[in-house]
Chain A
Amino acid sequence: MAIFQSPIQVYPNSSWYLQQKKFYNFFTNAGSPNYLHFKTNLGAGIDTMYMIEAVGYNYGNAYAIRCGWGFQWSYGVARNIGLQNGYPGMSADGVYASSDGYLCIRAYASGHYYNGFMLNGYATRTDTTHYAVTITASSQNSNSGNYY
């Protein structure tokens, strides 16, 4: 068996990759609060487009997870945000800029008891510069707006 070290980056384009699989892993056994906030390394000085997707399982609400956040991140402003939920274990709930200028994503579930998932990233615009997206901070709390 071939075991790849994460993140698995597929399809190089210039100095970055079109697919970044399992660039972050999250697990909680705390059933509440209901919101998860993730702060990325995408800062205010760049212009890019991504789709970030969560894939996993939420034991607490007994559903699989597949949900996606799509956005343009343009110099500190998130535009044309799309939130989609393929499986009902957790919902993509929002995209926002942190107070110090980084892109953040927010997820929601009615319960998080033993909720675990990974994040995949898909860079989608090849005529601009992309980066290896990472998560620099995460928090489970009751804030339905901007936490960071």
Chain B
Amino acid sequence: MANLSAATGIYDKKIQWGIFQFSNGSSSGNYIHMETSITQPSSNIMMMIEAVGYCYGASNPIRCAWRFYSYASVIGGGNNSSYTGMSADGVYYTSAGYVAIRAYTSSPYYLGFTLNAYPTAGNGTGQPVSIRRVSQNSTSGAYY
């Protein structure tokens, strides 16, 4: 058995497991905003971040992902959702100068997930990433 601390970096940190965990029992606020440590503008980092977990309120597993290239503006930013417990909803730049990702679920009661990151696409490979702050609220656009 291998017991690993969070975050765990593999292959020059091109794989980063467990960079963040989220869990609460609140049913109010359908959007989860997470501000990353990736700065803008022009930090030139390409990355995929995925959430894996379970949402009791939505009664479904969670597997969804955000992709972005942090250049002068978010290039190629977008979202993919494999399971329906929570959706990757958006990527934006915060007023403090960081990349933020936004998730959405229709029913956030007992929502829990962890984040894995994959900075693999060419620019900024292996760049360590963490979550600076998080908020669950009703803002469907840029919160930070």
Contacts and interface: CB of A to CB of B under 8 A. Distances in A.
A19 B114 contact: yes
A91 interface: no
Contacts of A2: 10
B114 A71 contact: no
A58 interface: no
A70 B60 contact: yes
Contacts of B82: 66, 84, 86
Contacts of B111: 124
Interface residues of A, number: 36
Contacts of B126: none
B17 A11 contact: yes
Contacts of B3: 9, 12, 17
B110 A49 contact: yes
A81 B54 CA distance: 10
A74 B62 CA distance: 20
B52 A6 contact: no
Nearest to A23: B1
Interface in A109-130: 122-127
A72 interface: yes
A14 interface: no
Contacts of A79: 56
Nearest to A92: B61
Interface in B4-52: 4-8, 10, 17-18, 21, 23, 25, 52
B66 interface: no
Contacts of B139: none
Contacts of A10: 4, 6, 8, 17-18
Contacts of B62: 51, 70, 124
Nearest to B52: A122
B17 A82 contact: no
B8 to A, nearest CB: 5
B53 interface: yes
B59 interface: yes
A80 interface: yes
Contact of B114 (A11, A53, A68): A11
B67 interface: no
Contacts of A53: 52, 61, 63
10 contacts: A8-B4, A11-B5, A11-B6, A11-B114, A19-B18, A53-B61, A70-B59, A79-B56, A82-B61, A82-B84
Given A12-B6, A82-B58, A124-B110, 17 more contacts: A5-B2, A11-B17, A11-B18, A12-B5, A19-B52, A70-B83, A71-B54, A72-B56, A81-B59, A82-B55, A82-B84, A84-B82, A86-B83, A122-B114, A123-B112, A124-B23, A125-B56
